Structure formats: structure tokens, C-alpha cells
Amino acid sequence: MDTATLLSQLEQLACKLGVEVRYESFEDEPGNCAGGSCRVKGKHLVIVNQNRPLEDQVEVLRRALKSFDLENIYIRPALREYLCRQA
């Protein structure tokens, strides 16, 4: 599966889980962080550095979404395998 497709499928999964995904520029931040997840006013949020390569953006979403209970959600087998891999 190519990186752009993987990113799109992770964004769709985030939507199913009620997780907001934001792409922001981190140009002024030291170290040029790739992004991460947090909770704001009780809602889950993943902020992704839009200036990083697609592979880094995908990894930020993978790390954030794999922490959710995905047991009862249909996820394409290739995507589920990707979510479960160790990084």
C-alpha cells in the first residue's frame, strides 16, 4: 500500500473513532517535531506537522490510533497489520 493511501485510510479511521486530525506547520518549533496526540476539552486530537515527509505523518497517526480499542471496528486487514506493527 502506498504512503498516500495509508495516510488516507488512517484519517478515515480517526474519523470513525471521533479523533480530530489537524495538519499544522511547526516551522517555529525547535527540533521540527513530527506531531502527536492529546486531549482538548475531553476530545481526542492528533496534530501532524505538515512540513514533515508523508512517512512521518503516517507514523504520527499510527502511534496515536493504535492506542484506541480497535477490537470492534472494521479495519482493512492490511491497515490493521500496519497499526499493530512495532516501530
Predicted local distance difference test score (pLDDT) of residue 87:
57
Which pLDDT does position 29 carry in this prediction? 61
Whole-angstrom Cα distance, residue 1 to residue 56?
16
Residue 39 sits at the vertex; the CA angle it makes with 71 and 35, to the nearest 5 degrees, is 90
For the chain, the 3-state helix, strand and coil shares in percent, each to the nearest 5, are 40, 20, 40
pTM of this prediction? 0.87
C-alpha grid cell for residue 79?
A: 491497515
C-alpha cell at 59: 507514523
Rounded to 5 degrees, φ, ψ at 69 are: -75, 110
Digit-by-digit pLDDT tens for the chain (87 residues) are 899 999 999 999 999 999 999 999 887 665 678 888 999 999 999 999 998 999 999 999 999 999 999 999 999 999 999 998 865
Check: CB of residue 7 under 8 Å from CB of residue 57: yes
